[in-house]
Structure 1
């Protein structure tokens, strides 16, 4: 399938949020508490004439999606980038074209397409500063063979999810990375 076909297959942002069974509260919280800095609004207003669209590959259980997508949606509102959501696990043919490091089905993956359905850019799964945070958080886990691994991993996921929801610096890092990716394509 071509990207236009994938786009037409997706859910709207509202349909996606309404369907969420996990992380919906955190997703909405971040969306409600993140605003585009006023001084940056003209940057994204410049995108309006491009009539870009976004395909967002995601799953509601993903903490990175809970953090990143609400921020992207705020940018999309100002830039008038229409978005459609696809569940990664139901769309592996597309996901496998956007592997992270050519091996990982890491999400979310935001694929920006133009009016003709040609890819303009893709972004995800996370900003570099968030990647560093994840690497630091996971480095203290015991090996998978150790009996306390499952409990420690669960604690770590809870810690990460809380940080994603509450740490405003993380929102800034994601925003800056998305802003840089999008505005580098406007010139």
Structure 2
């Protein structure tokens, strides 16, 4: 299937937000509180190339909670359309965009009118990847009795940081911007 067909098959960003489960409040907080800088060059490039964003995500994903509200702000400023395909519903799309052989989300695929991939972003900005990797390094082995409890604590710490750290949001924005200009 071509990327334009995937775009047409996906759901609107509004439908995606309506499907959010665990992270809706934090998604909406990031969206409400993120102030996108005036960036005429990026906006012009998006508009001149008539870009649209095909997003691979899941409503339960904490990294999606962090990144998609920032993309939504970019889209609103530039008039870029967004379509979301759920990773678990569309593995054949996700398999084309694996990271190190894994189905890690979110993935943003920027396409032109013809459905050609112009650029791709995801699944994480470098600073977010560093934070995530440090968290994983401090986990006990998966077969350790305390693993589940420690994992839940670490995820809660990440969610709190993702939903409150405006410097991190700016870093995500700058990294997405690099893929667009």
Give TM class, smaller chain.
over 0.9
Structure 1: gaps spanning 5 or more residues: none
Which residue of 165, 168, 182 corresponds with 2:166? 168
Q: Which residue of 2 aligns with 1:73?
A: 72
String of CA shifts for 1:106-134, please: whole Å, max 9, x gaps: 00000111000011111101100110011
Q: CA deviation at 1:50?
A: 1.4
**1:1-20 map, 5 Å:** 1-20=1-20
| Equivalence for 1:54 | 53
Structure 2, unpaired ranges of 5+: none
CA distance in 2, matches of 1:36, 1:179: 11
Contact 1:46 1:79 survives alignment (8 Å): no
- The correspondence of residues 24-103 of structure 1 with structure 2, limited to 5 A, is 24-38=24-38, 40-101=39-100, 103=101
In the alignment, the residues of structure 1 paired with residue 57 and residue 5 of structure 2 have an alpha-carbon distance, to the nearest angstrom, of 17
Task: Answer whether contact 2:42 2:180 (CA < 8 A) is retained.
Answer: no
Question: What is the rounded CA distance, in whole Å, between the counterparts of 1:156 and 1:174 in structure 2?
Answer: 20
**Within 2, Cα distance between the matches of 1:41 and 1:14?**
25
State the SS of the aligned residue for 1:78: helix
Q: What is the deviation of 1:42?
A: 4.1
